[in-house]
Amino acid sequence: MRTLDSTTSLRIAVQKGGRLTDKTLSLLEGIGLQFDDYKRSLLVKCRNFDVELLLIRDDDIPEYVQDGVCDLGFVGANTVAEDEADVTILRGLDYGVCRLAIAVPKNGSIKKVEDFAGKRIATSYPVLTRKFFNSKGIEVDIVTLSGSVEIAPRLEIADAITDLVSTGGTLKANGLVEIDKIFDSETQLIQTNKPLSEGKKHLIGKILQRIEGYKKAAESRYIMMNAPQSAVVEIKKIIPSLKSPTVMPLADNGMVAIHTVIPLSTFWDVMEKLKEAGATGIVMLPIESMIV
Protein backbone atom coordinates (compact mmCIF):
# COMPACT_ATOMS: atom_id res chain seq x y z
CA MET A 1 0.00 0.00 0.00
CA ARG A 2 1.21 3.47 -0.87
CA THR A 3 1.67 5.80 2.08
CA LEU A 4 -0.13 9.12 2.04
CA ASP A 5 1.81 12.35 1.75
CA SER A 6 -0.62 14.06 4.09
CA THR A 7 -0.49 13.52 7.81
CA THR A 8 -4.19 12.67 7.99
CA SER A 9 -5.97 9.55 6.86
CA LEU A 10 -8.65 9.63 4.18
CA ARG A 11 -11.73 10.27 6.29
CA ILE A 12 -15.06 8.84 5.17
CA ALA A 13 -18.40 9.89 6.68
CA VAL A 14 -20.91 7.09 7.21
CA GLN A 15 -24.35 7.29 8.82
CA LYS A 16 -24.35 6.02 12.38
CA GLY A 17 -27.08 3.53 13.25
CA GLY A 18 -29.50 4.30 10.40
CA ARG A 19 -30.91 2.81 7.25
CA LEU A 20 -27.72 3.33 5.26
CA THR A 21 -25.25 2.08 7.87
CA ASP A 22 -25.16 -1.69 7.31
CA LYS A 23 -25.16 -1.52 3.52
CA THR A 24 -22.42 1.12 3.46
CA LEU A 25 -20.24 -0.88 5.84
CA SER A 26 -20.75 -4.09 3.90
CA LEU A 27 -19.85 -2.28 0.69
CA LEU A 28 -16.63 -1.00 2.29
CA GLU A 29 -15.83 -4.47 3.60
CA GLY A 30 -16.73 -5.94 0.22
CA ILE A 31 -14.06 -3.82 -1.43
CA GLY A 32 -11.47 -5.06 1.03
CA LEU A 33 -11.39 -2.44 3.78
CA GLN A 34 -11.15 -3.99 7.22
CA PHE A 35 -12.39 -2.20 10.32
CA ASP A 36 -12.32 -2.87 14.03
CA ASP A 37 -15.59 -2.85 15.90
CA TYR A 38 -17.44 0.16 14.54
CA LYS A 39 -20.37 -0.20 16.90
CA ARG A 40 -18.48 1.29 19.82
CA SER A 41 -16.62 4.23 18.41
CA LEU A 42 -17.39 7.31 16.33
CA LEU A 43 -14.02 7.33 14.63
CA VAL A 44 -12.95 3.93 13.35
CA LYS A 45 -9.54 3.21 11.87
CA CYS A 46 -9.22 0.93 8.88
CA ARG A 47 -6.74 -1.87 9.53
CA ASN A 48 -5.33 -2.27 6.04
CA PHE A 49 -5.71 1.18 4.41
CA ASP A 50 -4.93 4.71 5.50
CA VAL A 51 -8.65 5.34 5.93
CA GLU A 52 -10.84 6.17 8.89
CA LEU A 53 -14.62 6.25 9.19
CA LEU A 54 -16.51 8.97 11.00
CA LEU A 55 -19.92 7.71 12.08
CA ILE A 56 -22.40 10.58 12.33
CA ARG A 57 -26.05 11.53 11.68
CA ASP A 58 -26.83 11.47 7.98
CA ASP A 59 -28.03 15.08 8.08
CA ASP A 60 -24.51 16.20 9.02
CA ILE A 61 -22.71 14.29 6.26
CA PRO A 62 -23.02 16.76 3.33
CA GLU A 63 -21.76 19.64 5.46
CA TYR A 64 -18.86 17.67 6.93
CA VAL A 65 -17.80 16.74 3.40
CA GLN A 66 -18.34 20.27 2.10
CA ASP A 67 -16.15 21.69 4.88
CA GLY A 68 -13.44 19.09 4.31
CA VAL A 69 -13.83 17.56 7.78
CA CYS A 70 -14.42 14.35 5.82
CA ASP A 71 -13.01 13.70 2.35
CA LEU A 72 -15.77 11.32 1.26
CA GLY A 73 -19.26 10.53 2.46
CA PHE A 74 -21.98 7.98 1.81
CA VAL A 75 -25.37 9.64 2.08
CA GLY A 76 -28.80 9.79 0.47
CA ALA A 77 -29.15 11.96 -2.65
CA ASN A 78 -32.16 13.49 -0.86
CA THR A 79 -29.93 14.78 1.94
CA VAL A 80 -27.28 16.11 -0.46
CA ALA A 81 -29.93 17.92 -2.53
CA GLU A 82 -31.78 19.30 0.49
CA ASP A 83 -28.55 20.68 1.97
CA GLU A 84 -27.53 22.18 -1.39
CA ALA A 85 -24.04 21.21 -0.32
CA ASP A 86 -21.03 22.22 -2.36
CA VAL A 87 -19.64 18.71 -2.92
CA THR A 88 -18.87 16.49 -5.90
CA ILE A 89 -21.10 13.48 -6.45
CA LEU A 90 -18.76 10.67 -7.44
CA ARG A 91 -21.37 8.04 -8.11
CA GLY A 92 -24.78 6.72 -7.20
CA LEU A 93 -25.14 3.44 -5.33
CA ASP A 94 -28.21 1.30 -5.67
CA TYR A 95 -29.22 1.08 -2.02
CA GLY A 96 -31.24 3.38 0.22
CA VAL A 97 -33.55 3.76 -2.74
CA CYS A 98 -36.59 5.90 -1.95
CA ARG A 99 -38.54 8.90 -3.20
CA LEU A 100 -39.70 12.18 -1.76
CA ALA A 101 -43.44 11.87 -2.24
CA ILE A 102 -46.35 14.26 -1.83
CA ALA A 103 -49.15 12.70 0.17
CA VAL A 104 -52.59 13.86 1.22
CA PRO A 105 -55.33 12.45 3.48
CA LYS A 106 -57.39 9.84 1.70
CA ASN A 107 -60.82 11.18 0.69
CA GLY A 108 -59.72 14.77 1.38
CA SER A 109 -60.23 17.78 -0.89
CA ILE A 110 -56.71 17.78 -2.35
CA LYS A 111 -56.56 15.48 -5.36
CA LYS A 112 -53.81 16.94 -7.51
CA VAL A 113 -50.84 19.30 -7.27
CA GLU A 114 -52.91 22.29 -8.48
CA ASP A 115 -55.21 21.92 -5.45
CA PHE A 116 -52.30 22.87 -3.18
CA ALA A 117 -52.53 26.64 -3.62
CA GLY A 118 -52.51 28.24 -0.16
CA LYS A 119 -52.32 24.89 1.66
CA ARG A 120 -50.02 23.96 4.53
CA ILE A 121 -47.50 21.21 3.86
CA ALA A 122 -45.51 19.51 6.60
CA THR A 123 -42.08 18.19 5.63
CA SER A 124 -38.53 17.53 6.74
CA TYR A 125 -37.46 18.61 3.24
CA PRO A 126 -38.43 22.29 3.00
CA VAL A 127 -35.87 23.15 0.30
CA LEU A 128 -36.86 20.40 -2.14
CA THR A 129 -40.54 20.90 -1.40
CA ARG A 130 -40.34 24.68 -1.92
CA LYS A 131 -38.43 24.21 -5.19
CA PHE A 132 -41.04 21.78 -6.47
CA PHE A 133 -44.03 24.03 -5.82
CA ASN A 134 -42.14 27.11 -7.05
CA SER A 135 -41.46 25.32 -10.31
CA LYS A 136 -45.20 24.76 -10.69
CA GLY A 137 -45.96 28.38 -9.77
CA ILE A 138 -48.01 27.28 -6.76
CA GLU A 139 -47.75 29.17 -3.50
CA VAL A 140 -47.82 26.93 -0.41
CA ASP A 141 -47.18 27.29 3.28
CA ILE A 142 -44.38 25.01 4.45
CA VAL A 143 -44.23 23.68 8.01
CA THR A 144 -40.82 22.17 8.72
CA LEU A 145 -40.82 19.19 11.08
CA SER A 146 -37.83 17.06 11.97
CA GLY A 147 -39.69 13.76 12.16
CA SER A 148 -43.04 11.94 12.29
CA VAL A 149 -44.28 14.07 9.42
CA GLU A 150 -46.92 11.50 8.50
CA ILE A 151 -49.09 12.32 11.52
CA ALA A 152 -49.17 16.09 10.81
CA PRO A 153 -52.49 16.03 8.88
CA ARG A 154 -54.22 14.11 11.68
CA LEU A 155 -52.91 16.63 14.21
CA GLU A 156 -54.20 19.37 11.90
CA ILE A 157 -50.74 20.88 11.72
CA ALA A 158 -50.87 20.58 7.95
CA ASP A 159 -53.18 19.73 5.03
CA ALA A 160 -50.62 17.50 3.33
CA ILE A 161 -47.06 16.25 3.64
CA THR A 162 -43.99 15.47 1.63
CA ASP A 163 -41.95 12.59 2.99
CA LEU A 164 -39.53 9.86 2.03
CA VAL A 165 -41.24 6.70 0.92
CA SER A 166 -39.97 3.35 -0.24
CA THR A 167 -42.90 0.95 -0.19
CA GLY A 168 -45.58 3.42 0.83
CA GLY A 169 -46.61 1.31 3.85
CA THR A 170 -46.18 4.13 6.37
CA LEU A 171 -48.35 6.49 4.31
CA LYS A 172 -51.10 3.93 4.03
CA ALA A 173 -50.98 3.13 7.73
CA ASN A 174 -51.56 6.84 8.39
CA GLY A 175 -54.51 7.20 6.03
CA LEU A 176 -52.51 9.06 3.39
CA VAL A 177 -52.28 8.59 -0.36
CA GLU A 178 -49.39 9.55 -2.58
CA ILE A 179 -50.34 11.90 -5.39
CA ASP A 180 -47.02 12.98 -6.84
CA LYS A 181 -43.27 12.58 -6.52
CA ILE A 182 -40.72 15.36 -6.00
CA PHE A 183 -37.43 13.50 -6.07
CA ASP A 184 -36.01 10.02 -6.71
CA SER A 185 -33.22 9.12 -4.34
CA GLU A 186 -30.50 6.55 -3.78
CA THR A 187 -27.28 6.57 -1.80
CA GLN A 188 -24.48 8.67 -3.24
CA LEU A 189 -20.75 8.68 -2.71
CA ILE A 190 -19.75 12.32 -2.37
CA GLN A 191 -16.33 13.97 -2.30
CA THR A 192 -15.16 17.23 -0.82
CA ASN A 193 -14.30 20.11 -3.14
CA LYS A 194 -11.51 21.15 -0.78
CA PRO A 195 -8.02 20.42 -2.10
CA LEU A 196 -6.83 16.85 -1.51
CA SER A 197 -3.28 15.51 -1.26
CA GLU A 198 -2.00 13.31 -4.10
CA GLY A 199 -2.06 10.36 -1.71
CA LYS A 200 -5.73 10.86 -0.90
CA LYS A 201 -6.63 11.31 -4.56
CA HIS A 202 -4.85 8.06 -5.35
CA LEU A 203 -6.73 6.26 -2.60
CA ILE A 204 -10.09 7.66 -3.75
CA GLY A 205 -9.34 6.45 -7.30
CA LYS A 206 -8.63 3.01 -5.93
CA ILE A 207 -11.81 2.95 -3.84
CA LEU A 208 -13.89 4.00 -6.86
CA GLN A 209 -12.34 1.33 -9.06
CA ARG A 210 -13.01 -1.32 -6.44
CA ILE A 211 -16.63 -0.20 -6.01
CA GLU A 212 -17.03 -0.48 -9.79
CA GLY A 213 -15.67 -4.04 -9.70
CA TYR A 214 -17.76 -4.99 -6.70
CA LYS A 215 -20.96 -3.71 -8.31
CA LYS A 216 -20.16 -5.38 -11.64
CA ALA A 217 -19.52 -8.65 -9.84
CA ALA A 218 -22.84 -8.45 -8.01
CA GLU A 219 -24.59 -8.06 -11.35
CA SER A 220 -22.67 -10.87 -13.06
CA ARG A 221 -22.44 -14.64 -12.86
CA TYR A 222 -19.70 -17.04 -13.86
CA ILE A 223 -21.12 -19.87 -15.95
CA MET A 224 -19.58 -23.17 -16.95
CA MET A 225 -20.97 -25.79 -19.30
CA ASN A 226 -20.04 -28.69 -21.50
CA ALA A 227 -20.94 -28.76 -25.17
CA PRO A 228 -20.10 -30.54 -28.41
CA GLN A 229 -17.30 -28.79 -30.30
CA SER A 230 -19.72 -28.38 -33.19
CA ALA A 231 -22.01 -26.19 -31.05
CA VAL A 232 -19.31 -23.65 -30.06
CA VAL A 233 -20.04 -21.19 -32.85
CA GLU A 234 -23.75 -21.13 -31.97
CA ILE A 235 -23.03 -20.87 -28.21
CA LYS A 236 -20.65 -17.94 -28.73
CA LYS A 237 -23.49 -16.10 -30.45
CA ILE A 238 -25.80 -16.68 -27.47
CA ILE A 239 -23.40 -15.51 -24.76
CA PRO A 240 -23.35 -11.73 -24.37
CA SER A 241 -19.88 -12.11 -22.91
CA LEU A 242 -17.64 -9.31 -21.70
CA LYS A 243 -14.74 -10.95 -23.48
CA SER A 244 -14.58 -14.11 -25.56
CA PRO A 245 -15.37 -17.22 -23.54
CA THR A 246 -12.76 -19.76 -22.48
CA VAL A 247 -13.16 -22.98 -24.49
CA MET A 248 -11.26 -26.06 -23.28
CA PRO A 249 -11.19 -29.51 -24.86
CA LEU A 250 -12.52 -32.37 -22.71
CA ALA A 251 -11.20 -35.91 -22.60
CA ASP A 252 -14.40 -36.98 -24.33
CA ASN A 253 -13.89 -36.78 -28.05
CA GLY A 254 -15.49 -33.77 -29.69
CA MET A 255 -16.62 -32.23 -26.38
CA VAL A 256 -15.47 -28.95 -24.84
CA ALA A 257 -15.94 -27.05 -21.57
CA ILE A 258 -16.95 -23.40 -21.92
CA HIS A 259 -16.45 -20.83 -19.14
CA THR A 260 -17.63 -17.24 -19.27
CA VAL A 261 -19.19 -14.34 -17.40
CA ILE A 262 -22.71 -13.10 -18.14
CA PRO A 263 -24.92 -10.32 -16.74
CA LEU A 264 -27.24 -11.79 -14.12
CA SER A 265 -30.24 -10.14 -15.80
CA THR A 266 -29.76 -12.31 -18.89
CA PHE A 267 -29.19 -15.53 -16.99
CA TRP A 268 -32.44 -17.43 -17.55
CA ASP A 269 -32.74 -16.38 -21.15
CA VAL A 270 -29.16 -17.37 -21.92
CA MET A 271 -29.47 -20.62 -19.98
CA GLU A 272 -32.48 -21.81 -22.00
CA LYS A 273 -30.88 -20.90 -25.30
CA LEU A 274 -27.65 -22.66 -24.33
CA LYS A 275 -29.58 -25.82 -23.53
CA GLU A 276 -31.31 -25.69 -26.89
CA ALA A 277 -27.92 -25.24 -28.58
CA GLY A 278 -26.68 -28.48 -27.00
CA ALA A 279 -24.96 -27.35 -23.79
CA THR A 280 -25.17 -29.68 -20.80
CA GLY A 281 -24.19 -29.49 -17.13
CA ILE A 282 -24.60 -25.73 -17.00
CA VAL A 283 -23.33 -24.38 -13.67
CA MET A 284 -23.66 -20.83 -12.42
CA LEU A 285 -21.43 -19.33 -9.72
CA PRO A 286 -21.48 -15.96 -7.94
CA ILE A 287 -18.45 -13.72 -8.40
CA GLU A 288 -16.95 -11.89 -5.45
CA SER A 289 -15.26 -9.09 -7.37
CA MET A 290 -13.92 -8.40 -10.84
CA ILE A 291 -11.83 -5.80 -12.59
CA VAL A 292 -12.64 -5.43 -16.27
Q: Would you tell me which residues interact with ligand ATP (CB under 6 A)?
A: 15, 18-20, 57-59, 76, 78-79, 96, 98, 164-166, 185
Q: Indicate which of Zn ion, ligand ATP, none lies near residue 262 (CB less than 5 to 8 Å, by partner kind).
A: none
Query: 174: which residues sit within 8 A by CB, 6+ positions away?
Result: 150, 151, 153, 154
Strands (E), the chain: 10-15, 43-45, 51-56, 72-76, 87-105, 120-123, 141-144, 160-165, 176-192, 220-228, 246-249, 255-263, 280-286
Whichever of 13 and 235 has its CB closer to ligand ATP, that residue is 13
Q: Indicate which of ligand ATP, Zn ion, none lies near residue 62 (CB less than 5 to 8 Å, by partner kind).
A: none
Q: Indicate which of ligand ATP, Zn ion, none lies near residue 76 (CB less than 5 to 8 Å, by partner kind).
A: ligand ATP
**What is the nearest approach in angstroms of ligand ATP to the Cβ of residue 110?**
22
Residue 150: left (phi > 0), alpha (psi -120 to 50), or beta?
A: alpha
Q: Indicate which of ligand ATP, Zn ion, none lies near residue 66 (CB less than 5 to 8 Å, by partner kind).
A: none
**What is the nearest approach in angstroms of ligand ATP to the Cβ of residue 254?**
54
**What is the nearest approach in angstroms of ligand ATP to the Cβ of residue 16?**
6
**What is the nearest approach in angstroms of ligand ATP to the Cβ of residue 78?**
5
Q: Residues binding Zn ion: what is the number (CB under 5 A)? A: 2
Q: Long-range CB contacts (< 8 A, 24+ apart) of 91-95?
A: 91/188, 91/189, 91/208, 91/211, 92/186, 92/187, 92/188, 93/27, 93/186, 93/187, 93/188, 93/189, 93/211, 93/215, 94/186, 94/187, 94/215, 95/20, 95/23, 95/27, 95/186, 95/187
Whichever of 82 and 159 has its CB closer to Zn ion, that residue is 82
**What is the nearest approach in angstroms of ligand ATP to the Cβ of residue 45?**
22
Q: Are 10 and 4 within 8 A, CB to CB?
A: yes
Q: Residue with CB nearest ligand ATP? A: 76
Q: What share of the chain is helix, strand, coil (3-state, %, to 5)?
A: 30, 35, 35
Q: Indicate which of ligand ATP, Zn ion, none lies near residue 96 (CB less than 5 to 8 Å, by partner kind).
A: ligand ATP
Whichever of 20 and 93 has its CB closer to Zn ion, that residue is 20
Whichever of 14 and 46 has its CB closer to ligand ATP, that residue is 14
Tell me if residue 75 falls in helix, strand or coil: strand
Q: Are 225 and 281 within 8 A, CB to CB?
A: yes
Whichever of 164 and 271 has its CB closer to ligand ATP, that residue is 164
Tell whether residue 145 is a contact of Zn ion (CB under 5 A): no
Q: Indicate which of ligand ATP, Zn ion, none lies near residue 19 (CB less than 5 to 8 Å, by partner kind).
A: ligand ATP
Whichever of 73 and 213 has its CB closer to Zn ion, that residue is 73
Q: How many CB atoms lie within 10 A of CB 184?
A: 11
9-68 binders of Zn ion (CB under 5 A): 58-59
Residues in contact with Zn ion by the rule CB under 5 A? 58-59
